[in-house]
Amino acid sequence: MSTAVRTAARIPGELLDSLAGDRAGESHPTVWSEWLEANGLPDPSAEEWRYTPLDEMAEALFASRPAGSPGIDPATFDAVAPRHGGVRLVFIDGRFSEELSDSPASADLEEPLPPGARVGELCGLQGPHAADAAELLGRWALPQGEDLAPNDGFRALNALGGGDTAVVSISPGVAVGSPIHILHLRSAAAGDDPPTLSQPRTLIDVGSGASCRVIETHLSMGAGFTNATTRIRVGVDGHLHHIRVQDEHHAAHHMGDTVVETHRGAHLESIAVNLGASRSRCGIDLALCGEHATADLSGLSLLSADQRCDTVLGVDHRVPNCTSSQDFRSIVDDRARSSFCGHVLVDHGAAGTDSSQSNRNLLLSRRAQADTRPWLEILADDVKCTHGATVGRIDEDARFYMLSRGIPAEKAESMLIGAFAAEVIDDVEPPALRDTLYARIDELDQGAHS
Amino acid sequence: MLSIQNLTASVLDESGTAESNQILRGIDLEIGPGEVHAIMGPNGSGKSTLSNVLTGRAGYGVSGKVLFDGADLLSMDPEERAAAGLFLAFQYPVEIPGVGNMYFLRTAVNAVRTARGEPELSATAFLATAKEAMAELEMDPAFLSRSVNAGFSGGEKKRNEVLQMTLLQPRLAILDETDSGLDIDALRIVAHGIEKLRNPERSMLIITHYPRLLEYVKPDRVHVLRAGRIVREGGPELAYELEEMGYGPGEATAEPADATPTDTADPSGSHAEPDDGPQAPQARSLL
């Protein structure tokens, strides 16, 4: 703890003040300031923070400040912002942009949202959706909340100075066909201003028997720090397909924190794609809270130059008879480094648990690195838990086989790299997003030859 | 068409220097257009090393000269050799999970066509050609939608090799123990597939332990490879003589086995082929 306190002491008071001031109208900013002063940023020696370059993260965080005013003009925005077919909500520097977002009732949408599906900014919601969302947020937001996995300073910072909350709330029994797209964009600092700090928040609440797809994208226009939290609840027999894409500016720092709970019979499919940022962390904490739920978590990181990306999973089987799978892959070029820590906890009494974990890393250069750490903690009997990890290079036998058929070396390599990623990417919808990912893999591979 | 002159090869160690014992110790071989040659020999005589060196696999220190249609084969990259018309049917075809067989075949065919200055085949045209060739080989068209060789039985892999050969239309095909691990029916189908490709413009080099394949694809010449050298040559009758008499006593082989990079990397590590039934009864080892 001493390390944590020492780190906390370095959080500039000016930064804390600027964040607290940002939410002056809300109830308990002092709670967060006090919590941060007492606990600080995470202890670098803790297992789940072991591979995260916390020093560099802290340095970038401390140097950044919330953007003064929304710093992007609509033309620039249109040039960079992807569209995925369904309704799109846009948040710039953590603030909801009504101007750039679709109106859910808009006639321009291919498929209008059905009644019972609400999307928008938390404060703009009304009725039971807003109450549910507020209740969820409140539960997750408490510093020592019972449902929260070990709390940390980044969560506290987001709670202290987080932006508007993007909410997707689907009423029981409602099925939404087209994907709901939540786009968080951090602007570049203007002139001599310090790099920008953005703290996006996303809340997804899928009601009993409801289903939807959500694509959550994080982009940025320049160096700076993004400290994002996403909170997800999948209700009884609910179904969520969630894709999270981190494609930030190459000099950016990104802290991603996703917390999910699934209830009885729920089905979650989650794909985490990490493409951008100089330093990034992709944390996912999943609690299986009701029996017979299925959660398939997968992820792909494409890293080059001196990028680092740390994927940290906490999967908590709290009740019997749930199934989870984790399939995380990384493709690492140049001097980049990918890390993976996959903690699976099977609680006392969680009999009938079926969990499988796979982490595979493909290194494209001699100086590329991958760390992999499966971490199974099984406190129940009668469970099935498997894990496997590999770090390797392109299979020479397969490569030669392709060359011997006349396929040029570059093409053979890109086919093999694509095949490595395919198992994760082929679950990505819509197809246009999948094609974009394959194109990014090709770019990475081209870079390897230049 | 192919002229091998005093070819030697040693396995390179990790630092890239040649290990002391040579596997090929001076091979001379001439194959004319349309000719079918067979190479037989005991395990460890260098047969697979010869096919690896001819197709350009890395990991060997090579000297000597190989001319392919007059061009210096050893200075070409593996994919250039394929484009020039060289084809190797692998002893152990490689599994490539995640790469669809159809995508693989079409990419290969079009890469070779492009290199030869021919127009690429459209998806439709390719599919029609592939399906026709598959019917000849009694292959289920469903194989096109599976990953390359992944989960194929031994016999299916060998058929897939002959399918690739049919689609790529090589000038010279090297068949490395294409008959091993096949049951009688599969051997007949594969052999017919090979024989059908025989024409006055296409040469073949068949590496085998058994004369059975050579009954279907009758060779013009048979060579006996032993300890890295060709020690006997003759007509097709030599294959039967070898089966009767064995390779006989002679110079002991210097190496325990073909010390090729492929062998160590082969995941199955054995000749056992799972789904094609027992070895053909006539497929008795010659040693």
Buried/exposed code over B218-233 (b: 16+ C-beta within 10 A; e: otherwise): ebebbbbbbbbbbbbe
Q: What is the pLDDT tens value at each position of chain B, 287 positions in all?
A: 999 999 999 998 878 777 777 899 999 999 999 999 999 988 888 998 999 999 999 999 999 999 999 999 999 999 999 999 999 999 999 999 999 999 999 999 999 999 989 999 999 999 999 999 999 888 998 889 899 999 898 889 999 999 999 999 999 999 999 988 888 888 998 999 899 999 999 999 999 988 888 989 999 999 999 999 999 999 988 988 888 888 765 544 444 444 444 443 344 434 443 444 333 334 333 34
Does A402 sit within 8 Å of B82, measured CB to CB? no
d(CA B85, CA B104): 18
Question: How far away is chain A from the Cα of B284, in angstroms, using its nearest Cα?
Answer: 29
CA proximity to A244, closest of A204, A208, A292, A278: A204
Using CB atoms, which residue from B98, B261, B265 is nearest to A422?
Answer: B98
- For residue A106, what pLDDT is reported? 67
Residues B159, B161, B164: CA angle, nearest 5 degrees: 110
| Residue of chain B nearest A397, judged by CA positions | B94
Instruction: Please return the burial class of B241, using the count of CB atoms within 10 Å of its CB with bins 0-12, 13-18 and 19+.
Output: middle
CATH assignment of B2-265, among 3.40.50.720, 3.10.129.10, 3.40.50.300, 3.40.50.11900: 3.40.50.300
Domain residue spans of chain B: 2-265
Instruction: Enter the tokens of residue A393.
Output: 């290079």
Question: How far away is chain A from the Cα of B162, in angstroms, using its nearest Cα?
Answer: 12
Does B96 sit within 8 Å of A403, measured CB to CB? no
Selected residue of A401, A420, A427 to mutate for chain B interface (largest B Cβ count, 10 A) = A401
d(CA A90, CA A293): 31
Q: Residue B126: enclosing H or E segment and its boundaries?
A: helix B123-136
Question: How far away is chain B from the Cα of A332, in angstroms, using its nearest Cα?
Answer: 19
Specify the higher pLDDT residue, A79 or A408.
A408
d(CA B233, CA B222): 6
> Phi first, then psi: what are they for A370, rounded to 5°?
-145, 135
Instruction: Enter the tokens of residue A65.
Output: 């400040």
Cβ-Cβ contacts under 8 Å, A360 against chain B: none
Cβ-Cβ contacts under 8 Å, B79 against chain A: 403-404, 406-409, 412
Instruction: Enter the tokens of residue B122.
Output: 């459209």
Pairing mode of beta strands A88-92, A95-96: antiparallel
d(CA B285, CA A321): 54
Mean pLDDT for the stretch of residues A292-319? 97
Question: How far away is chain B from the Cα of A108, in angstroms, using its nearest Cα?
Answer: 36
Cβ-Cβ contacts under 8 Å, B164 against chain A: 405
CA proximity to A369, closest of A389, A341, A393: A393
Q: Where residue A25 falls among pLDDT bands split at 50, 70, 90?
A: very low
Chains A & B: contacts with CB separation below 8 Å: 80
d(CA A65, CA A94): 13
Does A420 sit within 8 Å of B98, measured CB to CB? yes
Write the pLDDT tens digit of every residue in A197-228: 999 999 999 999 999 999 999 999 999 999 99
List residues of B whose CB lies inside 8 A of any A CB: 55-58, 77-79, 81-83, 87-88, 90, 93-99, 103-104, 107-108, 111-112, 115, 147, 164, 168, 261-262, 265
Question: How far away is chain B from the Cα of A122, in angstroms, using its nearest Cα?
Answer: 43
- For residue A78, what pLDDT is reported? 83
| Residue of chain A nearest B168, judged by CA positions | A405
CA proximity to B261, closest of B61, B7, B66: B61
List residues of A whose CB lies inside 8 A of any B CB: 395-398, 400-409, 411-412, 415-416, 418-420, 422-423
Domain residue spans of chain A: 67-394, 395-450
| Positions of E strands within A221-307 | 224-234, 239-246, 252-262, 267-274, 279-288, 294-303
Residue at token pair 């990953």: B147
Long-range pairs for A53-57: beta carbons < 8 A, 24 or more residues apart: A53/A279, A53/A308, A53/A310, A54/A7, A56/A253, A56/A279, A57/A225, A57/A253, A57/A255, A57/A279, A57/A281
Residues in chain A: 450
Question: How far away is chain A from the Cα of B282, in angstroms, using its nearest Cα?
Answer: 31
Tell me the CB-side half-sphere exposure of residue A263, using CA atoms within 13 A. 13
Question: How far away is chain A from the Cα of B109, in angstroms, using its nearest Cα?
Answer: 8
Write the pLDDT tens digit of every residue in A82-108: 888 889 999 999 999 988 998 876 656
Does B104 sit within 8 Å of A405, measured CB to CB? yes
Does B79 sit within 8 Å of A409, measured CB to CB? yes
Q: Is the pLDDT of residue A156 over 70?
A: yes
Cβ-Cβ contacts under 8 Å, A408 against chain B: 79, 111
